[in-house]
């Protein structure tokens, strides 16, 4: 589900906590590009992974 995702939103990958926090760069359908602190840009398929939004 990508309804809460938009560029600029901060997220975490629930199965990859060592990647650190990530900022959403783009959202195209189910594909979300996130720039994570420790691994850089990653293309995430939200059908497979539910990103956790970081509020604050």
Instruction: Please tell me the predicted confidence (pLDDT) of residue 55.
Output: 86
Q: What are the backbone angles phi and psi of residue 2, rounded to the nearest 5°? A: -115, 10
Instruction: Please tell me the predicted confidence (pLDDT) of residue 3.
Output: 73
Instruction: Please tell me the predicted confidence (pLDDT) of residue 4.
Output: 84
Ordered mean pLDDT values, 10 residues apiece, the chain (56 residues): 85 97 97 98 97 89
Instruction: Please tell me the predicted confidence (pLDDT) of residue 2.
Output: 63
The domain locations on the chain are 10-53
Instruction: Please tell me the predicted confidence (pLDDT) of residue 46.
Output: 96
Instruction: Please tell me the predicted confidence (pLDDT) of residue 40.
Output: 98
DSSP 1-56: --TT--TT-EEE-TT-GGG--EEEEEEETTEEEEEETTTEEEEEETTT--PEE---
């Amino acid at each position: 589900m990508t309804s809460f995702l938009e560029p600029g939103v901060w997220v975490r990958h629930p199965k990859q906590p060592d990647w650190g926090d990530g900022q959403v760069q783009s959202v195209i359908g189910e594909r979300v590009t996130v720039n994570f602190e420790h691994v850089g840009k990653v293309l995430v398929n939200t059908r497979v992974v539910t990103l956790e939004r970081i509020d604050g």
